[in-house]
Amino acid sequence: MTNHFLGRALREQGHDVRLMPAQFVRPFVKSNKNDYRDAEAIAEAVERENMRFVPIKTEDQLDVQARHRVRERWVSRQTAARWVLRSWYTAIPERANDRSSLLRLVFLTMIANFSA
């Protein structure tokens, strides 16, 4: 479960829900990390006037965010595959024999299809 899901569920029950990014709470932790000290730091951070809170996202917003993450990973893997193909292509000598030329043509075709 995500914080946003729990925030929506608690808000429906009538609670006042405010989400804080961990990076803003971390400076208030006094020493070694444990649950008690984390809770103490959160309680201290909530009382600050200038604390910035994160708005609770809707399910649609979380879906769009997930789609963007999936697409970003797909693009990075596709780019990595292109670079592997290009490195193989450059490893083949220019004028070896007919078999080598055929292999270069196959790699060029694969790179062209990846780029489309």
Delimit the domains of the chain by residue range.
1-57, 58-116
Of 69, 70, 114, 67, give the one whose Cα is nearest residue 89.
114
What's the confidence (pLDDT) of residue 14?
92
Ordered mean pLDDT values, 10 residues apiece, the chain (116 residues):
84 89 77 80 81 88 93 90 74 58 72 67
Report how far residue 105's alpha carbon sits from residue 109's, in angstroms, rounded to the nearest whole number.
6
Q: What's residue 95's pLDDT?
A: 54
H/E stretch holding 19: none
pLDDT computed for residue 97 by the predictor: 57
Q: Report the pLDDT value the prediction gives residue 3, as an integer from 0 to 100.
A: 85
Note whether 111 and 89 are within 8 A (CB): yes
pLDDT at 85: 73
